[in-house]
Amino acid sequence: MVPALVVFGYLAIVLYIGIFAFRRGKTSGEDFFLASRSLGPYIFLLSLFGTNMTAFAILGSSGLSYKIGIGVFGLMASSSCFVIPVTIFFIGTRLWGLGKKFGHMTQVQYFRDRWECSEIGTVIFVLTAAMLVPYLIIGTMGGGETLSSISTYTDAGGQTRHWVSYEAGAGLVAVVVMSYVFFGGMRGTAWVNTFQTTLFLCFGAIAFFLISQKLGGFGKIMTEMQNDPKSSVLLTRARIPTEEFFSYMFIPLSSIMFPHIAIMCMTAERVTHFKKTVIFYPLCIAAIWLPAVYIGTIGAHEFPGLKPGDTDDIIPRMLREYTGPLVSGILGAGIMACVMASDSQILALCTMFTEDVFAYYGGKDRFGEKAQVWTGRFFIVLVTVVAYVIALALKDKEGIFGLAIRFAFSGFAAMAPVMLAALFWKRSTKYGALASTLWVMGTVAFTGWLHMATEGLAKPGQPPVVIYESLGNLFLRTPVNVTMYGFLPVMPMCIGSAILMAVVSLLTRPPSRATLDKYFPPRKEPGVPAAVSQAVPAATPDGVKAG
């Protein structure tokens, strides 16, 4: 029980931070949902990074590296180190500026105003909310996996048992996260994420060192694996096809379309806070992913033959085996810190619902701002319960990494052209956004169904299996994914979304001149006074001169 008790103590600390933030907060909606746009540079950096590093980063990456080897780092971390800071710098800063100027709190609020759309904005809300739910499920699953694994023991009869079951662990984490988000809002979430990010950034290096030392050192482990025919393949990229490896470069595009990332970008006190984020973000990614992938890879050598549903707990298993109970508990708390970063997704869903549905359709005007905040709080309870129920249903059936890639990352990456068009392409229209959204909605649903329908069709170590022979190699099934001509669905999803956004926008009428001038202010003509320049008639979208 020692490791579990240490983690319980950690959960109590986190809960107190959320309650303390509640006592410092205000009753306004902007304070609850955006912390009054007042986060300082270091809290902004750590909370933004922690928001993006959930159970997927530690448990998911180590679980996948157990299956296919050290090449997992190249799949996600290497491209993320470049793509995510660039998108935060070019897109996050613009979202911050527009949010500050026009009062936007969510992406849908911006899209509705930018494209003069109402129902289309609601369609975008429904899709983004649906794709965010798997992220919440990941956090709940990770909490159950971690607490269950670190509290494992063998009884007198030689049977493996758990002081804390998967169900109880997932429920406890869900309740704690729900509680501090419920009370603390964005301020509580940011403070907790700052504390948690600091903890799990330290976790990787310590776990790497302790496990390596227990196994005789890094060099000894690598030599043993290199000389073992079954393990040597894990030190290469042999189990990752080239097309699939290339496809993962599209996944980091999802970062800025994640509602929790976009909303977090609007909380910064000043735009200069983004500078430190861009500089330190790649270093933080390396600090998390390198140890996680390494431990997962050597875990396949030390504990071969784990069932697919058991690979996500390889790090807690290694800690339990190669460290003492107290150290295992402390490092387990570090894992839990990463797992519980799903708090930002819960708050993002809450913010979206209250702003894009409740307030937009008149609830705020009718019942007041205080009722809006409490509506958001009750919505937090609802989505937490839903995530917990689904996490129980997916026990031993779905890996964390695969769940994230198929239903969250791929969909949000394919929505990136919508965000880019809204921010930087003046000619884009609401119908282009609708076409892209419907495309993403359909492809996510279809590929998800296809993956579940072909589960077990392909065996490890064998070539991909053709799903529909009449379509040739269009749809292939590997042991891990469904692919299209060998590429992950995210690549054609992104390309199709961009094409539809461009073609449909060019075929439909753009927003009014007033809206375009609002978001793309006309430049002053050199040498012409401002009053004269503004008096020059401007062309309306249909080409008629405005008087």
Q: Is the pLDDT of residue 535 over 50?
A: no
Least Cα distance to 489 among 125, 243, 231, 290 occurs for 243
Q: What pLDDT is stored for residue 547 in this prediction?
A: 35
Residues 221 and 225: their CA atoms lie apart, in Å, by 6
pLDDT in tens, 48-70: 888 877 767 787 888 889 988 99
- Give me the helices (H) in 425-544, please: 430-453, 490-507, 513-519, 530-535
pLDDT in tens, 496-506: 999 999 999 99
Q: How confident is the model at residue 419 (pLDDT cuts 50, 70, 90)?
A: very high
Supply the DSSP symbol for 160.
E
Residue 145's pLDDT is 80
Domain ranges of the chain: 34-182+195-514
Which structure tokens are listed for 367?
Answer: 């019942």
pLDDT at 15 over 80: yes
Residue 93, pLDDT > 80, answer yes
DSSP letter for each residue of 20-47: HHHHH--SSHHHHHHGGG-B-HHHHHHH
Contact in structure between 399 and 312 (CB atoms under 8 Å): yes
Residues 6+ apart with CB under 8 A from 50: 193, 194, 196, 197, 200, 338, 341, 344
Beta strands in 347-407 (DSSP E): none
Convert the pLDDT of each residue in 225-244 to its tens digit. 999 988 999 998 888 888 88
Cβ–Cβ under 8 Å, residues 252 and 83: yes
Residue 161 phi/psi, 5° resolution?
-130, 170
pLDDT band at 149 (very low <50, low <70, confident <90, very high): confident
- The answer to whether residue 546 scores a pLDDT higher than 90 is no
Whole-structure pTM value: 0.84
Highest mean predicted confidence (pLDDT) among 3-17, 197-211, 435-449: 435-449
- Is residue 376 predicted with pLDDT exceeding 60? yes
Q: What is the pLDDT of residue 540?
A: 40
Answer positive or negative: Cα dihedral of 119, 121, 125, 127: positive
User: Domain 34-182+195-514: which topology?
Assistant: Sodium/glucose cotransporter (1.20.1730)
Is it the case that residue 97 has pLDDT exceeding 90?
Answer: yes
